[in-house]
């Protein structure tokens, strides 16, 4: 006799099948990303198909989408509204590009400060510490070496 796949799962089994914690399932429910099934007996039973939805959410998070954006993408998951889907993805891409630009600026400043620290004699303050201790705002410090 062969075992058949269950039609529904408890929250613990759903979490294990999806590779997340039970707390994650509950949080997604609070955020409206997953439905809260009715209780049957002492347990709630979740459709097995919710594992695919959880994987969708996790993949979207790996690409940097916020849970609000993921909620919208799930609403559009039939693919019929590609303009809206592209807008969400394009906005996210712009945010990623801005972060990359910020990281490159920080890299340039830190590289400069490390070089200055390496070539400054011990009789002078370390340029890294001096820059961090400076009363200038963070944005002014970041642009010192740019």
Query: Which pTM value belongs to this model?
Result: 0.76
Looking at the DSSP bridge assignments, the partners of residue 94 are none
Burial class for 69, CB neighbours closer than 10 Å (0-12, 13-18, 19+): middle
46: left (phi over 0), alpha (psi -120 to 50) or beta: beta
Within the chain, residue ranges assigned H as helices are 11-18, 22-30, 50-62, 67-75, 82-119, 127-133, 138-142
Would you state the pLDDT for residue 5? 61
Would you state the pLDDT for residue 4? 58
Would you state the pLDDT for residue 141? 47
Would you state the pLDDT for residue 78? 87
Mutual orientation of helices 67-75 and 50-62 as an angle, nearest 10°?
130
Return per-residue pLDDT of the chain as tens, 146 residues: 455 567 889 999 999 999 999 999 999 999 999 999 988 788 899 999 999 999 999 999 999 999 999 999 999 988 889 999 999 999 999 999 999 999 999 999 999 999 999 998 888 889 999 999 988 655 554 455 44
Scan for tokens 């890299």, then name that residue: 107
Cα R_g (the chain), whole angstroms: 25
């Amino acid at each position: 006799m062969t075992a058949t796949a269950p039609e529904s799962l408890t929250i613990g089994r759903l979490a294990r099948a999806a590779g997340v914690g039970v707390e994650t399932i509950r949080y997604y429910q609070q955020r409206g990303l997953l439905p809260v099934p009715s209780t049957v007996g002492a347990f709630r039973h979740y459709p097995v198909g919710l594992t695919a939805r959880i994987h969708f959410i996790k993949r979207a998070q790996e690409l940097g989408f916020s849970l609000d954006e993921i909620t919208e993408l799930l609403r559009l998951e039939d693919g019929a509204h590609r303009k809206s889907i592209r807008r969400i993805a394009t906005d996210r891409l712009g945010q990623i590009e801005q972060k990359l630009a910020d990281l490159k600026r920080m890299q340039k400043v830190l590289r400069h400060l490390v070089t200055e620290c390496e070539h400054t004699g011990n009789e002078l303050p370390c340029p890294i510490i001096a820059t961090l201790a400076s009363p200038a705002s963070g944005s002014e410090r970041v642009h010192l070496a740019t």
